[in-house]
Structure 1
Amino acid sequence: MTGDHAELTAELRALAETVLERLEPILQKVAAPMPDAEAGGAGDDRPTCSTCTWCPLCALAALIRGEQHDLVTLVAGQASTLLAALREALDAHDTAGGEARATAATTPASAPPSAFVPIDVRITEPEPR
């Protein structure tokens, strides 16, 4: 990888980390189940949505009003799982990238920048019997 590509990869990784760090708290807050009023859960003051539980328009309206909606909670929970998987993939890529950088550092400077490395092949004639 050339220096420009390495810088671009580092910048994209930093951007992805920033997006994940900002989205995770929002999704965790939305995905958190609201305690039932009957159970005495006074810790969360978010009102519940009194409309349907499956309509995306009602879910959007409830999200805008700050109300708890079943569809929003479900989607936020799934999105949190997706973000966790993306974070694991970024961490795995960082580990693999570190090994690739270490390998590139040990190759000679005269080696071509491609993934293919030329090798010497010697063909010898068999000895007569």
Structure 2
Amino acid sequence: MTEIPRGTLPQATFFELVGGEDTFRRLVHRFYQGVADDPELRALYPEEDLGPAEERLRLFLIQYWGGPRTYSDERGHPRLRMRHGPFTVNQAAHDAWLRHMRDAVDELALDPAHEKQLWDYLVYAAASMVNTPG
């Protein structure tokens, strides 16, 4: 019997562990359902159709969590703060974004450890996008 060297077995990514593309598709779709009905947050999205924004966020999250690198292949480096710079992201927008994302995360019914890992990142990401006092 041949021994497998330590560290050579493939490790599942978070993306794979939580269900892959389908999970992120559901997360982001549910999030944008909330955005569509939120006048304050909806104002941050200049496109009439939220579909392209939904696709961008989905592809970003998939890549961030270890899935295909389609986001970077299509759009280059994420540069999230730069991309959000033209928009007024204040505390109210931050709170609304997290409120809709919380609803979306809850609907996934993830394993508690995975849910915490995802939520901790989303809270961090939301805070890092704030660029306007108030």
TM-score (norm 2): 0.27
TM-score (norm 1): 0.27
| Larger Rg belongs to | 1
Higher relative contact order (CA 8 A, sep 6+): 2
